[in-house]
Each structure stands twice: as C-alpha cells, then as structure tokens.
Chain A
Amino acid sequence: MNQGHRYPLFLRQRYRDILGYSALVGMLIGLLIALPAALVVFFPEEGALARVFLTTGLAVLGLSLAVRRLCRPLDGDSLSLDEGATVVVLAWLVAILAGAVPFRAAGLDWTRAIFEATSGWTTTGLSVVDVAAASPLILFFRSLMQLAGGAGLAILMLSALTGPPGVSLSTAEGRAEQLVPNVRQSARLVVLLYACYVAFGILALRLCGMSWFDAVNHAFCALSTGGFSTRPQSIGAWHSPAVEGVTILLMLLGMMNFLIGYALWRGRLRFVARNGEMRLQALLLPLLFLGLLGALTHPLETDLVHRARAALFQAVSALSTTGYATVDPREWSGPGWALLLVAMLIGGGAGSTAGGLKLYRVHALARGLLWQVRALPAPRGLVNQPTLWVGEQRRVLGDGHFRQMGLYAFLYLGAWLAGGCALTAYGHPLAESLFEFASSLGTVGLSVGLTSAAAPDGQLWIQIGGMILGRLEFFVVFAGLLKLARDLPLVLSVQANT
C-alpha cells in the first residue's frame, strides 16, 4: 500500500465512527418526527398528515439504521472535539431537513418549511405558519421540536441510547456543563429534571384553565424557552394572570442552568445564592421590569396592574429568550424596544435551554472589566485575579478565559450587526432589522412583524443562518464545516481508488 494513502485510510475509519454516531442521533430524530402521528387518535380527521409524519420519521429511522449497520463505530471509540462538532453539524442538518418535510406537506414552500423547522429545533419561535389555520399535528410537532432542541439532541441521545464516551458531543452542542462527573449519568439527570419540569408545567397550565392540548404545547415551549404558541396572540390570548404567572415560572426554570436546578433539588441554597448567573439575573430582571413599566405606550393599557403584568412577563420572556408575548412588541416605546433588545442579546443561563450571549459570559466579562478598572491605580507588582464560583469551587478567571469570552462576545455582536444590517436590504428600517435579527440570533422569537410568510426568501435564509449559528454557538458550526470541507476530498479519493 502506498505511503500516501495511510492518512486517508485513517480518516476513513474516523468517518465511519462519525457517521455511526450521527446515525445514532438520526434514529432519535426519526422517532421524534414519527411521534406526532400518534395524535391521530385524538384528531381522526388528520389522517393524511399523520401518514406524512409516520413515513418521514420511519424513513429517517430506517436510513439511520442502515448507515449505522454500515458504519458501526468500533466499541468504545471516542470522538475528539472537532469530530464531535462534525457529528452535531451533520445531525442538525438532518434534523432540520427532515423536520421541514411535514411543513412542506402542510402547504409551505421549502424555504418557509426549513425556516419553521430551524426555528423549532433551535428553540427560537419565530414562525411563518398560520397558527390559526394549522393542523394540531403541526402545532404539536413544532412544540416537540422545541422540547428536544432545548435539552439538546446529544443529551437526549446520551441519556436514552448510547453514544461515544467523553464529552465531545455534549460540548459541541453547547451543553458542556455537567451535574455529576460522568457524562451519561449527568445526561440522565438533566433529562429527568427536564421531565419533572415538563410534568409540573403541563399540570399547572391545565389547572389554570388551558385545555390539555394547549397546556402540553405551552409547557413544552415555555420550558425549552422556545416560544411557539397554539394561538396567534400567543399567551396574550388567555387574558389570565394565572396562566401568565405559571408561564413566567416555567420560563425562569427553562433559562436556569440545570446545575442550579440540581442544586435547588438537593437543597443547596448557598450554592444558588453565590452563583454569578443567579446574581446577575436578580439584578437584571427588576431593572428590566421597572424600565419596561415606564416604556409601555399602548393607549389602552393605562391601568397600572395591566402594565405591570405586561412588563414583568415581557422582561422574563426576552431575557429567557423564550419570545412569548402578551402585548405586541410594537406597542413599546423606544426605550422599551432598547431594553428588550439588550435582554435578548444577554440571554439566559449557560447550560440551560436559553440562547443569547448567556448570563455566565456577561457576568464574567463585567467582573473582568471592573477588575481591570480597579487594577489601574494599583501597584505594578500586584498579583490579583478575579474569581468566580463555579459549582462548589472558586475558579480563578485567567487571561485565557477572558480571551475566549471576549472573542465570543465580539463575534456574536459582530454577527448581530452584520445580520441586522443585511436585513435592511429587504426594505426594513434599521431598528426593526436589528431587533428582528437579535431575536433570530439569540433564538428568542419576539417579532416586530418582519418575519411572516410573506417575507422575502433571502431574508428568511439570513435568519435561518442566524438561528443555527446562535444555537450552536458559532465555533461548532465553523469547526464541523471546515473539517468536512478539508477531509471529504481525501476520504472520497480513497474510496475511488480501492
């Protein structure tokens, strides 16, 4: 054998592993897509659509099984981080494309179907579906996508099936934080915790007067900080303080780092009290609430109680990147928009289902900034580093951490500006464009009306890109695609020769 073929042959073995593990995620995706078909029991008139769900799901499942048979990963082979990134990128492509098929069958064109599927899996909640006219199966499927995308496909797979040992997959999907020092046990605990939240959410919403169907959908979408609703007016349609209260609680649970949820569950309150994310959140939410209270300009909402309800709900909805609305965002005054925009850019907790820059990064960067300012007049020889509580341990924030977080923030804000400016090319004002793209990139779903079925294709594709990059935190997408682009020619060249 030629010396020059050794590396491509090695790569081929690695790609067998990559494809094998991707197929494992594919099986999960197939099952998720087939699941809404079961609802035909309650909605017998939806038989045709149920068949679409079933055939699409089974096709993905069958294809995945076939790939897995061909490329069974060697037992115990683990993946490196960039290989994990490749698996995640491949799996998300499959999820989005296969998830678009039912929407296509329900009458959307491909661009809009893919937009809706992306918005679902990334837990964004921007929609081009006419919710009032959509089939209940479609509505349930949207909620289910958000539920799964919120926890992360890798976490679900690791907890239910098997997967590569190591943390490559969960890290690549932005779910690196573990509850216990073993990735599989941690994944199981996260799914258990998530399931408890969901069960609680469904019951609470049902008790507040929603129908079972609405309760299930809204519990799924509030906890995953997704924000799809079964009504065109979103949560506002119920006009119920109880429903709003429960939804606020669910959104707060969804944006809370699962680590903190686990600590609360075990009664470790001290841990929660000194956690930076919780502290920042405790500072931001009241500020947002007060700011929004003063910024609501709707002439009908002069009643203070109504305004307070709307302000509280919207503050939590924007910061948790859920995107449920009780009043149309267009009814806020300029400062109100600005506050919502800032909240959407900051986002929820790391290791939660939320998007955005994440409270963790914002908190750490703010601490670093303060520290930098304080260090200015200090003696030159002073050795002092800012620290953070991560779990039970005080962690020193080194230059490496700051570089990483600073660069990420730069990339995130740069992408937001670029995308926002690009949307103006479709004839929208700058403010609206920046708002709408912050909503896409942060996987929020609040809309000032730019996203609709009538929106131009190019705009929707820009937003699709924003949602995927925002959900997978940029670098994973870059790493996965670059690796594929570099390796594929080599791998294929061997296949042609042998």
Chain B
Amino acid sequence: MAKQQGESGDRDLVVIVGCGRLGALLAGRLSQAGRRVVVIDRREEAFNLLPAEFSGFRVTGDAVEHEVLRAADLAKAGCLIAVTQKDTLNLMVAQVARLVFAVPRVLARVYDPRKEVFYQRFGIETVSPTELTADALVEAVGLG
C-alpha cells in the first residue's frame, strides 16, 4: 500500500530541464504551490538562480543522457517542462520524455515559431516567447 501511495503521490512531480532565468522562476513558483519539483542543469552554478521559495531537488548533468533523466525520477513524473536556451535540445528532451519515459504531460519553450509544428506532431505542448512578444507588440501598436 505504501508503494501505491508513493507512486500516485509522485504524479505531481514536475521535472524542469534548464535552470536559467525562466527555469529557476518556474521552479520557485511550482515549489511554492506545493508541487514536487526536480530541476536539471548541466552547470552546478546555474542553481544559484533558484529563488528562496524553491524546495525541490537539483540534478546536475546533461539532460540528453538517460542516466540523468532517471536520476530525476522522470519515469514517475506527471509533467516535464523543457526550457533550455536551445530549441533543438528542448525538442529532443521532450521527445524522449514522451516516448521513452511516457510522461503524461510534456511542455517546451520554442524560440523559433516555425519549429512549433514539429513539436505539436509529437504531442508536445509549446510556448513561444517570440510569438507572444510579437502578439503583445502588435496589440500595443494597434491600440496605441
């Protein structure tokens, strides 16, 4: 029974790949909201960006390696968010999470709007800051 409890409990585990400004902010907010959070980054120093609200685990390593993803307990995660600086890396990690680890919900940041279509074909939800900024600016100019 204990095992079952642990596993259903882990469904609120969120794995964040990339601890830059966005990854760190996200990790802090999700922690504060009471979710279990694991952050992965290649560089140990990146974790210095994490805010005081963060209470999850840090995993140092390259997220393209299975060993690293396993260390982050990805197989039990309910959600993966890929927010590294590189679109291609985000796509790859998101795909691995989807296909190999069968993570129910996978989200990624994409800078290049033209690439979004690939993500969607793999069942990966995307957020594109480029597009969001463009939308906001168009609206601002239009209303201004």
* Residue of A81, A183, A392 touching B55 (CB-CB under 8 A): A183
Given that A76-B32, A78-B51, A166-B52 are known contacts, is A181 also in contact with B37, CB under 8 Å in the complex? yes
Q: A314 to B95, alpha carbons, bound, how many Å?
A: 56
A38 adjacent to chain B (CB < 8 Å): no
Contact B31 A166 (CB under 8 A): yes
Contact B31 A182 (CB under 8 A): yes
* Residue of A168, A266, A392 touching B52 (CB-CB under 8 A): A168
Contact B56 A79 (CB under 8 A): no
Chain B positions within 8 Å of A79 at CB level:
52
Given that A166-B31, A184-B34 are known contacts, is A178 also in contact with B57, CB under 8 Å in the complex? yes
Give min CB distance, A76 to chain B, whole Å.
6
Using a CB-CB cutoff of 8 Å, which residues 82-105 of chain A contact chain B? none
Contact A267 B32 (CB under 8 A): no
- Interface of A, secondary structure class, is loop
Contact A166 B71 (CB under 8 A): no
Contact B31 A266 (CB under 8 A): no
Chain B positions within 8 Å of A168 at CB level:
52
* Residue of B3, B34, B51 touching A182 (CB-CB under 8 A): B34
Contact B31 A165 (CB under 8 A): yes
Give min CB distance, B75 to chain A, whole Å.
12
Chain B positions within 8 Å of A186 at CB level:
55
Identify the closest chain B residue to A398 (Cβ): B44
Chain A positions within 8 Å of B31 at CB level:
165-166, 182-183
A493 adjacent to chain B (CB < 8 Å): no
Give min CB distance, B87 to chain A, whole Å.
27
A333 adjacent to chain B (CB < 8 Å): no
Mark each residue of chain A from 28 to 71: 1 if its CB lies under 8 Å from any CB of chain B, else 0: 00000000000000000000000000000000000000000000
Using a CB-CB cutoff of 8 Å, which residues 150-187 of chain A contact chain B? 165-168, 178, 180-186
Q: A367 to B35, alpha carbons, bound, how many Å?
A: 36
Chain A positions within 8 Å of B46 at CB level:
none
The size of the chain B interface, using a CB distance under 8 A, is: 24
Q: A180 to B53, alpha carbons, bound, how many Å?
A: 15
Chain A positions within 8 Å of B37 at CB level:
181-182
Contact A165 B71 (CB under 8 A): no
Chain B positions within 8 Å of A181 at CB level:
13, 36-38, 55-57
Identify the closest chain A residue to B59 (Cβ): A393
Q: A79 to B51, alpha carbons, bound, how many Å?
A: 10
Give min CB distance, A478 to chain B, whole Å.
20
Contact B57 A266 (CB under 8 A): no
Contact B53 A182 (CB under 8 A): no
A10 adjacent to chain B (CB < 8 Å): no
Interface centre among A81, A183, A265, A267 (most CB of B within 10 A): A183
Given that A76-B32, A266-B3 are known contacts, is A392 also in contact with B71, CB under 8 Å in the complex? yes
Q: A491 to B73, alpha carbons, bound, how many Å?
A: 46
* Residue of A167, A184, A266 touching B6 (CB-CB under 8 A): A266
Chain B positions within 8 Å of A240 at CB level:
none
Q: A183 to B37, alpha carbons, bound, how many Å?
A: 10
A452 adjacent to chain B (CB < 8 Å): no
Give min CB distance, A397 to chain B, whole Å.
12
A495 adjacent to chain B (CB < 8 Å): no
Interface centre among A81, A182, A183 (most CB of B within 10 A): A182
Q: A167 to B10, alpha carbons, bound, how many Å?
A: 20
Chain A positions within 8 Å of B143 at CB level:
none
Given that A165-B32, A182-B35, A393-B59 are known contacts, is A78 also in contact with B13, CB under 8 Å in the complex? no
Using a CB-CB cutoff of 8 Å, which residues 30-85 of chain B contact chain A? 31-32, 34-38, 51-57, 59, 70-71, 73
Give min CB distance, B42 to chain A, whole Å.
13
B104 adjacent to chain A (CB < 8 Å): no
CB-CB nearest 3 A-B residue pairs: A183-B55, A181-B56, A181-B57
List, sorted by A's number, 20 A–B pairs whose CB atoms are closer than 8 Å. A76-B53, A78-B52, A78-B53, A165-B52, A166-B54, A166-B55, A167-B54, A178-B55, A178-B57, A180-B9, A181-B13, A181-B36, A181-B37, A181-B55, A181-B57, A182-B31, A182-B36, A186-B55, A266-B2, A393-B59
**Beyond A165-B52, A166-B51, A178-B57: 6 further Cβ-contacts under 8 Å?**
A76-B32, A78-B52, A78-B53, A166-B55, A182-B31, A184-B55
